[in-house]
């Protein structure tokens, strides 16, 4: 049985079949028109640019520090009171070098930095014995504080208040420290301990400038 060719069949037969255009290959690292990267680039095909700044340089300070006092101070001005922070600390390497510094600033961190620089400037160098002690008794006075330090073999470090912090960071052991005054000021006690240790350092010519306490 013959079928008649309709106009629709003729049109369908004459219309060519559309052929898909070949997809252009994208190279590794080449940006696509819409801003995306090739998936092969995410797998490690491309190299990342080096980071700025290079490797981190983590250097630890050779000195150990211990806070002996931090307080808020006020200064009366024409328009009112202006508040600052005062920080006092002991700085030492536990190998014979020690110093006491005080810093004042509007910020706590800045006050600590100033105190650290002041302690480094006023640092002294001690000549300790083989047992990390002092060779003889020493006594010093700073303002109203009077401190006496005596060698005591085999007893370790016997001290209190801020005098102990000074002796610990100086690396002194087998000594006994005694406060001969009734002063409770930790800064004056620490400076009196430094003045006493300065007598040991003065004989070797390594003592720093005197603090000038009365």
Q: 144-161 pLDDT, tens per residue?
A: 999 999 999 989 999 988
Please report which confidence band the pLDDT of residue 128 belongs to, taking 50, 70 and 90 as the band edges: confident
What does the pLDDT read at residue 18?
A: 54
What does the pLDDT read at residue 66?
A: 94
Residue range 88-125, pLDDT digits in tens: 999 999 999 999 999 999 999 999 999 999 999 999 99
Sign of CA dihedral 53, 56, 61, 66: positive
Residue range 166-197, pLDDT digits in tens: 999 999 999 999 999 999 999 999 999 999 99
Gap between the Cα atoms of 214 and 205, Å rounded: 23
What does the pLDDT read at residue 193?
A: 96
What does the pLDDT read at residue 161?
A: 85
Residue range 33-69, pLDDT digits in tens: 555 555 454 555 555 655 554 444 445 678 899 999 9
What does the pLDDT read at residue 55?
A: 47
Give, for 125, the enclosing helix (H) or strand (E): strand 124-125
Sign of CA dihedral 134, 122, 183, 105: negative
Residue range 101-110, pLDDT digits in tens: 999 999 999 9
Strand partners, 90: 66, 100
Domains annotated on the chain, with CATH = 64-202 (3.30.160.20)
Question: What burial class does residue 113 get, using C-beta atoms within 10 Å of its C-beta: 0-12 exposed, 13-18 middle, 19+ buried?
Answer: middle
What does the pLDDT read at residue 63?
A: 87
What SS3 state is found at 162? helix
Judged against a pLDDT cut of 60, whether residue 8 lies above it is answered with no
65 phi and psi angles, rounded to 5 deg? -130, 155
């Amino acid at each position: 049985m013959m079928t008649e060719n309709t106009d629709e069949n003729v049109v369908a037969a004459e219309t060519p079949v559309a052929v898909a255009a070949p997809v252009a290959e994208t190279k590794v690292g080449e940006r696509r028109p819409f801003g995306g990267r090739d998936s092969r680039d995410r797998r490690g095909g491309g190299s990342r640019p080096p980071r700025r700044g290079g490797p981190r340089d983590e250097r630890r300070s050779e000195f150990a520090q211990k806070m002996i006092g931090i307080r808020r101070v006020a200064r009366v001005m024409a328009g009112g009171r202006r508040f600052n922070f005062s920080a006092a600390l002991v700085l030492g390497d536990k190998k014979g070098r020690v110093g006491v510094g005080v810093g004042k600033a509007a910020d706590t961190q800045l006050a600590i930095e100033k105190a650290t620089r002041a302690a480094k400037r006023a640092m002294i160098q001690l000549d300790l014995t083989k047992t990390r002690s002092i060779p003889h008794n020493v006594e010093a006075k700073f303002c109203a504080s009077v401190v006496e330090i005596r060698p005591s073999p085999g007893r370790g470090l016997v001290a209190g208040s801020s005098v102990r912090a000074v002796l610990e960071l100086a690396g002194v052991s087998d000594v006994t420290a005694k406060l001969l005054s009734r002063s409770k000021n930790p800064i004056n006690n620490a400076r009196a301990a430094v003045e006493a240790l300065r007598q040991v350092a003065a004989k070797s010519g390594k003592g720093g400038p005197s603090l000038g306490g009365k």
